[in-house]
A = this chain, B = another copy of it.
Amino acid sequence: MEYTLLAFGISIAALIFAGLLARWVLRQPVGTPAMVAVSDVIREGANAFMRRQYRTIGLISVLLAVVLLLAYGLTGSWSHGWQTAAAFLFGAASSAVAGIVAMAISVRANIRAAGAAQRGLPQALQIALRGGAVSGIIIVAMSLLGISILFLIYEWLGFSIQEIPSLIVGYGFGASLVALFAQLGGGIFTKAADVGADLVGKVESGIPEDDPRNPAVVADLVGDNVGDCAGRGADLFESAAAENIGAMILGVSLFPVFGIKGIMFPLVLRAFGLIATIVGIFSAKAKADENPMNSLNRGYWVTSVLAAAAFYFVTQSMLGNMWFFWAGMVGIATSIVFVYLTQYYTESRFRPVREIAEASTTGHGTNIISGYAVGLESTGATVVAISTALLASYWLGANSGVAHGGLYGTAVATMGMLATAAYVLAMDVFGPITDNAGGIVEMSKASEDVRRTTDKLDAAGNTTKALTKGYAIGSAALAAFLLFSAYLEEAHLSVVNLANVEVFIGALLGATLVFVFSSLAIRAVGKAAYYIINDVRAQFKENAGIMQGTSKPDYARAVDITTRGALKEMIFPGVLAIVVPIAVGMTFKAEAAAGLLMVGTIAGILMATLMNNAGGAWDNAKKYIEEGHYGGKGSDTHKSAVTGDTVGDPFKDTAGPSLHVLIKLLSTLTLALVALFV
């Protein structure tokens, strides 16, 4: 009980802190009236999207809760059905609340960052980062709070600590479900708006990017919020939740060794990770003449070092076995390795992006081939890093003297990797805030000077967004093995035998699910883009004053139409991701479902890495050429590079991030539904 209360208390404290930080952000002066006008439209658009999206997600969640209830009820245990369905709905609701609150701050921080850009870079950076921090802390704290509350309720109902982790797996499933649709819908929306705005704006009508005459331009800015902020927030909310539950289930199997402490260890660590993040946020202060990335990195290092220190003391006091401290350090080191790997494959300082830029000189085709080859190649180093982390943490755990400690070692490594999640999320949400600030500055026709400041912040935001994707896929991969083990524990399986024909077919279908899901996700962007393209064309036709700048386009209508398109297109891939594992599990049973889960995860890790890195590399190859290399902007080489960027957009912002979530959905879904597969 005391550990539950500790986690509960710290998460409440963190939420209070986030509230204070939000108040600070909201008290900052907003920009010029012109800026406020733009920001208001973005906020309304984002709200409209969120309302519609969460209505759809809510409907799907309730439906699925009924299915869960009936499935368990009709096959034996109504009480298990109620528990699972309730935990599921609670998880889904917590994730939704966290997402909505985070978005609400983010769309209010953008205008304040834009306003602060008039005063200087340090002020603007501080607002953008603290705005991001509100989101990051709320999301991680809510995930911790949800689990603590469930623990308190079940303890109060008289269940023993060992029983509880299995009872709350529905929470993780609910969070995953919301994350899948949030990321998928947000990812489709953001890229459909982006592609649509470019196609009718830049290409058809010849007006520049972020030009206020383009009715799609607000949808584009809204997209950054719903994709990166709400989408990635839901992704990491569910990472935190799923990993906590998975680690606690493994903790149960070590009950004879560590007792309750082994089960509560992940919660307590997560709580201290939150505190480390709060200190880290305050230590990231920019100097006026400094690259903003330096101050963000400073904060990250402070957070990492504090998290490591917390790890040391918590491990010593709770487990009393320092092998696990080192396993945690493996996790922290892995997160740093992933940050560098992502940089290597997606920044123009290094060989891969330069290679793509050079290949663009011989045409569109060679640009695509080269970028795709880079994406494929990047899976190599990524997997070596994951394998090394898994082996090392397993070895540390196995040598700890604790029986079956190897698995727990990998669990602790995952905790290490996720210890800094709130800070990473803050950096991620920093992305759409600065991007929006740039858009607001552009649309409100502010001075060159202000633009230069927001451009610098925007560039840093692009980097942090890319890094977060690397971090998200790395932690998903590391967490996967822990979640498999939790599933096997719950399914009472000790073996997943690929030589069994049904397990092999399950494995084959798991990997195929990843491929087909990716196909649907990237195709959905194209389909949804048609909605906005048609609307913009219609607006230009209906009102000739828009192009002349004498009357305003109907931004909200474009947002609304894109929203409907994106939400329609997210249904099929989302439902497929839920139906296929359930069908395999019910037809071929638990071991085949494990095959699907594991090999689907492997395929998902590789495909997401390919898509994220290829997309990032294409994007930066284009920017590298725009800086004046190989003929610069407007040259044939640049046109070829734009093709790569167009292809890369749905790769890195729709399919790739949705795959992170798919991987974890597979884990939480099979974990929650294991009773149906036995």
Known contacts A515-B610, A519-B377: does B370 contact A526 (CB below 8 Å)? Answer: yes
**A window 383-402: CB within 8 A of B:** 383, 386-387, 390-391, 394
A394–B588 Cα gap in the complex (Å)?
14
* Cα(A524)–Cα(B511), bound, Å: 27
Residue of B nearest to A495 (CB): B497
Query: Which residues 359-392 in A have Cβ within 8 Å of B in the complex?
Result: 359, 362-366, 368-370, 372-377, 379-380, 383, 386-387, 390-391
Q: Are A507 and B598 in contact (CB under 8 A)?
A: yes
In the complex, whether A157 has a CB less than 8 A from a CB of chain B is: no
CB distance from A495 to the nearest CB of B (A): 5
A498 to B498, CA, bound (A): 7
Q: Which of A96-104, A241-249, A453-461, A481-489 contacts B (4 or more CB under 8 A)?
A: A481-489
Q: CB-CB < 8 A to A317: which residues of B? A: none
| Nearest-CB residue, chain B, relative to A511 | B602
* Contact flag A363-B598 (CB < 8 Å), given A488-B499, A498-B498: no
**Is B373 a contact partner of A603 (Cβ separation < 8 A)?**
no
Contacts A363-B643, A390-B501 hold; do A379 and B526 have CB atoms under 8 A apart? Answer: no
Given contacts A394-B501, A497-B497, A647-B369, A606 and B376 within 8 Å (CB-CB): no
Inter-subunit contact A481/B498 (CB<8 Å):
no
Contact among B363, B387, B505, B603 for A387, CB-based, below 8 A: B505
Report 8 cross-chain contacts, Cβ distance below 8 Å, ordered by A residue.
Answer: A203-B363, A363-B646, A368-B368, A369-B522, A481-B504, A484-B504, A499-B594, A603-B606
Residues 606-633 (chain A) with a chain B CB within 8 angstroms: 606, 610
- In the complex, residue of chain B having the shortest beta-carbon distance to the beta carbon of A524: B373
The answer for the CA separation of A373 and B522 in the assembled complex, in Å, is 7
- Report the bound CA distance from A390 to B386 in whole Å: 32
**Number of interface residues, chain A, beta carbon within 8 A:** 72
A12 within 8 A of B: no
| Shortest distance from the beta carbon of A639 to any chain B beta carbon, whole Å | 8
Q: Are B505 and A391 in contact (CB under 8 A)?
A: yes
A482-524: contact bitstring with B at CB < 8 Å (1 yes, 0 no)?
0011001000011111110110110111011001101110110
A377 CA / B513 CA spacing, docked (Å): 10
Q: Nearest 5 A-B pairs (CB), nearest first?
A: A365-B646, A376-B519, A364-B643, A377-B519, A383-B512
The CA-CA distance from A380 to B370 in the complex, in Å, is: 26
Residues 537-579 of A, flagged 1 when their CB comes within 8 A of B and 0 if not, give 0000000000000000000000000000000000000000000
Chain A residues 288 to 319 lying within 8 A of chain B, measured CB to CB, are none
Chain B residues whose C-beta falls within 8 Å of the C-beta of A1 in the assembled complex: none
Query: With the chains together, A645 CA to B376 CA distance in Å?
Result: 20
Beyond the given A368-B647, A380-B516, A511-B606, please list 17 additional residue pairs across the A-B interface where CB-CB is below 8 A. A365-B645, A366-B526, A368-B646, A369-B646, A372-B519, A376-B518, A379-B516, A383-B508, A387-B505, A493-B499, A497-B497, A498-B498, A499-B598, A504-B598, A508-B602, A511-B602, A515-B610
Contacts known (A369-B522, A496-B498, A498-B595); A512 close to B380, Cβ less than 8 A: yes
Contact of A499 among B383, B390, B496, B501 (CB under 8 A): B496
CB distance from A609 to the nearest CB of B (A): 9
CA of A674 to CA of B497, assembled, Å: 19
Q: Which of A322-375 contact B (CB under 8 A)?
A: 359, 362-366, 368-370, 372-375
With a CB–CB cut-off of 8 A, which chain B residues contact A598? 498-499, 504, 507
Mask: chain A, 474-486; 1 = CB below 8 Å from B; 0 = not: 0000000100110
B512 and A379: CB pair below 8 A? yes
A187 within 8 A of B: no
A377, B516: Cβ atoms under 8 Å? yes
Most chain B CB neighbours (cut-off 10 Å) among A484, A494, A526: A526
Give Cα distance in the complex from A394 to B642, angstroms. Answer: 50
Would A364 and B366 count as touching, CB distance under 8 A? no
Q: Which residues of B contact A498 (CB under 8 A)?
A: 484, 496, 498, 594-595, 598-599
A199: CB under 8 A from chain B? yes
A481 contacts B494, C-beta separation under 8 Å: no
| A650: interface (CB < 8 Å) | yes
User: In the complex, what distance in Å separates the CA atom of A605 from the CA atom of B599?
Assistant: 13
